[in-house]
Amino acid sequence: MEPTDSIDEAAVVEQMRAWIERAVIGLNLCPYAKAVWLNQQVRIRVSDARHIDHFLEHLDEELERLVTTDPKVLDTTLLVDPTLFPDFATFNDFLDLAEACLEDHDLVGVIQIASFHPQFQFAEEPEGDWSHYTNRAPYPTLHLLREASIAQAVADHPNPDAIWQRNVALMRELGRSGLAKLGIWPELEDEKK
């Protein structure tokens, strides 16, 4: 999708919901996600920004909304932009600006940003490694998380350090055919045909 294309917000939200339900929760990639999802404490905001400054305005808005809303009502936000960051390198470079927003709002230690991208790639892994799918979402996404919620979830989990290792092993075990069956990543669907 190019930055000049119109965005079908409902379709983007539906694809993100499918990713959350089938991968994040369905594969238990994040053991903390299910409760906030079932309690409807997750906000999905689709940005229509055509330039970085506009996207940063959306990030400012979502940070403000998150910190001023009771966590029982809104615990986490996914800020999604389907057109602004088509390649992973550009998105990855942008993350420094996103982190600077936390500093500008005095939210370091209050909010944490996790990132997801359809072309996500760990620097230390080969390009075709299935481990990259632990951080691949249908669209470039900033996940805004409350540090207090993360701390509580980590305290409640018997071995939080093992989550990432388990996820990498699972992605590699599933491989192309297992991941394609989830119907989330179009590039796998296309190659399956």
What does the pLDDT look like over 125-144, one tens digit per residue?
999 999 999 999 999 999 99
In a domain, 24, yes or no: yes
Q: Is the pTM of this model over 0.75?
A: yes
In a domain, 136, yes or no: yes
Q: What is the extent of the structural domain holding 99?
A: 9-192
Q: What is the pLDDT of residues 89-110, one digit of tens each?
A: 999 999 999 999 999 999 999 9
Characterize the bridge pairing of strands 76-80 and 42-46. Answer: parallel
In a domain, 2, yes or no: no
CB 169, CB 134: distance < 8 Å: no
In a domain, 4, yes or no: no
In a domain, 30, yes or no: yes
In a domain, 3, yes or no: no
Q: How confident is the model at residue 4 (pLDDT cuts 50, 70, 90)?
A: very low
In a domain, 23, yes or no: yes
In a domain, 108, yes or no: yes
Share of the chain above pLDDT 70, in %: 95
CB 129, CB 123: distance < 8 Å: no
Domain count across the chain:
1
